[in-house]
Chains A and B, each alone.
Chain A
Amino acid sequence: MIRLEQVSHQYANGTLALQNLNLEFGGQHFTALIGPSGAGKSTLMRVLNGLVRPSNGKVWLENTEITKASDAVVRLERRKIGMVFQQFNLIRRLTALENVLIGRLGFMGTLRSSFKAYSRADRELAMRMLERVGMADQAWQRADTLSGGQQQRVGIARALAQQPKLILADEPISALDPKSSEQVMELLLEIQQQDSIAVLVNLHHLDAVRDYAKRVVGLRAGQVVFDGRADQLDDDAARALYYGENDTAETASDALNLERPVVSMPISVPGSSAVITNQFTINSYTHDPAGLSNSRSKKEWK
């Protein structure tokens, strides 16, 4: 469905976000995109739906090459791709239903849309999508009154309203609690299977990757360093992805950016006689081999 040929992208500030990517996402797969922060995952997603035009290479969306196409053509092609965001990106002051109808904007005229004159069919479709994500009861509530998990489900309904062939989800569960995360991932999997569409999810939770994804693509510094079945992603592969090939505890802790006290000579302060003593420990850095844990070892007060 979507194919990248020798795609590279450099931002205006000189950051090389993507380097010579050759990838294909298609058929009806649930694919997870993983890699350390700054690896280019979000950029890749925005290249896929044409929001970012790569500096080099070609992107084929079905039979259309979109990197050189006009804005109007890219916009029409983009309707085939639904997007789900980390911060949900709902229009906070509109109702859940109006937010889902945003997914129909690309299919209607500008003038009609300015008066919010959505067709009956569109409104029915939007309501059905809300039902599907279990949010029909909240259809008339303003988006900013919903919880994070609920907002993300409305976000998914908005993507569904486009009746897409591919759903891109950019860290859809990073801002959610474990229960909502599970609901959202289950929902995405269900949609992928029932609608036979492709779902590409950018994830940081390796547990979720193993539970839901069929295929895993690992990015590091803008390059593909892993592309295989999810069960091939063992601890060593994950470690290589997040910490580099020559992994040692030292580089791992560098990667985790752990703070250590700066050692220096005391500065004498005249008259500073007040002294408070306390107990202080620094735990040995707990090193999570799969990089799963978000809980960096912290200095601990006793």
Chain B
Amino acid sequence: MKPFEIHRITRAQQLDAYCELLGQKFFGHTVLGNAALLGVSGLMLPGAFQKEKFRIIFKESMTSIQTVNIEAPAKVKRQRLLSTFMWLGIAALMVWAFFGTEISLAKLLQGVGESWKLLFGTSDKPNSGFIPPNFSRFPEYLEQILLTVKMAMWGTALAIVPAIGLSILGAKNTSPHPVVYFITRRVLDLLRAVPEFVLALVFVVAVGLGPFPGILALAVYTTGILAKLFSEGIETVDAGQIEAVRAAGGNAFQAFTHGVFPQVLPHVASMTLYRFESNVRAAQVLGLVGAGGIGFFLNEALRGFDFPAAGAIISLIIVSVFFVDFLSSKIRERLT
């Protein structure tokens, strides 16, 4: 029988103890040291003291007292210190990023009225802003919106097969060799690094204006993204299921088709739908460089200062994006 006591330590006490420890070690009991500590401790509060701690004191008899050691090991302390530096580093980065970006609240408040005029027109020139929109060419816009969705469908579909192939090479657990893995990953980075409208320009030169170069641009860019997402899915599969196929005498290809693929199928379908949503939005931007669809019309309206028409187009785009996102997320919910 060993009676024991638990001291429940509040956060304030923990902080107190911690400050005392740090203070004695590094700063001594100076005013400046304590002020610096207060700042550091404040930063550390969320990470370091999330859990309530207990101090348990065992009593072997009335005269001797045993305690469990609750002081964090050196490794944990090092990690805490590192995480403090990390947060300080992030804060410093944000400060650095502030300069040169001309962030100014005053400027925003001064100029916000001008934006209002652009959106709603002025009293001397009514119906010259985006709102109220002008829907007189509605059937034409609807046709172009549908064309944009068609572009997104084919731009996504054409990416699936190459993306699956590349994802096998670019997943750590299925890649035939680390060198292949590395090269594949860099190729995927490259595919994603080139902006879609630049790709579209390249294909416009090859096949002329219209939706087709837009589809090609989407397909290339989407291949890069989907392959990366798929390979991340492949890296999380249960290795035991693959081993079971191998142990039954399956070859490497069968290990993929019967061991890996059934496991990643929901992920693949979900990511493909998600990219389709994004591609509907991307396809609209592509119109700006002459690659067909509603974006082409939007660009035309903006250039001709026909803001009410642009307002109509934008409101239709918003509705179509709502619709596609809603539909696709409903389907994704059902994938298991």
Contact = CB atoms under 8 A, between A and B. Distances in A.
Contact of B249 (A75, A92, A274): A75
Interface in A104-160: 105-107, 110, 113-114, 155, 158-159
Contact of A279 (B1, B57, B251): B1
B57 A51 contact: no
A102 B240 contact: no
Interface residues of A, number: 50
A277 interface: yes
A276 B4 CA distance: 9
A269 B9 CA distance: 8
B298 to A, nearest CB: 43
A114 B259 CA distance: 12
A25 B69 CA distance: 51
Given A102-B258, A105-B258, A270-B16, A276 B8 contact: yes
Leading 6 A-B pairs by shortest Cβ distance = A106-B249, A79-B249, A89-B244, A89-B240, A83-B247, A264-B69
Contacts of B241: 89-92
A79 B248 contact: yes
B23 to A, nearest CB: 12
A76 interface: yes
A93 B258 CA distance: 10
Nearest to B255: A105
Contact of B67 (A266, A274, A276): A266
Interface string A230-269: 0000000000000000000000000000000111111101
A48 to B, nearest CB: 11
Interface string A56-90: 00000000000000000001101101110101011
A103 interface: yes
Interface in B229-261: 238, 240-241, 243-251, 253-254, 257-259
Contact of B2 (A103, A274, A281): A281
Contact of A113 (B1, B13, B257): B257
A164 B254 CA distance: 20
Main secondary structure of the interface of A (DSSP, over half): mixed
A14 interface: no
A271 B13 contact: yes
B68 interface: yes
Given A261-B66, A269-B17, 12 more contacts: A49-B247, A89-B241, A91-B259, A92-B262, A93-B263, A113-B257, A162-B248, A266-B55, A272-B7, A272-B9, A278-B6, A279-B1
Nearest to B6: A276
Contact of A91 (B2, B14, B253, B258): B258
Nearest to B65: A266
B249 A279 contact: no
A87 B7 contact: no
17 contacts: A79-B248, A92-B263, A93-B265, A102-B245, A105-B245, A105-B250, A106-B250, A107-B249, A113-B250, A161-B248, A269-B14, A270-B13, A274-B7, A277-B3, A278-B3, A278-B6, A281-B2
A158 B250 CA distance: 13
Interface residues of B, number: 45
Given A89-B241, A262-B68, A266-B67, A277 B4 contact: yes
A77 B34 CA distance: 73
Contacts of B259: 91
B7 A280 contact: no
A158 B246 CA distance: 13
A51 B247 contact: yes
B262 A91 contact: yes
A278 B4 contact: yes
Most chain B CB within a 10 A radius of its CB, from A105, A155, A267, A277: A105
A281 B66 CA distance: 14
Contacts of A89: 238, 240-241, 243-244
Nearest to A77: B249
Given A91-B258, A280-B2, A280-B58, A269 B7 contact: yes
A280 B67 CA distance: 13
A158 B1 CA distance: 54
Contacts of B69: 262-264
B42 to A, nearest CB: 19
Given A75-B249, A91-B263, A269-B13, A102 B7 contact: no
Contacts of A282: 2
A141 B62 CA distance: 64
A278 B6 CA distance: 8
Greatest chain A CB density within 10 A among B248, B259, B265 is at B248
Nearest to B256: A114
A275 interface: yes
B300 interface: no
B7 to A, nearest CB: 5
A208 interface: no
A279 B238 CA distance: 44
A83 B241 CA distance: 12
A94 interface: yes
Contacts of B306: none
Most buried by A among B8, B58, B247, B257: B247
A85 B247 CA distance: 10
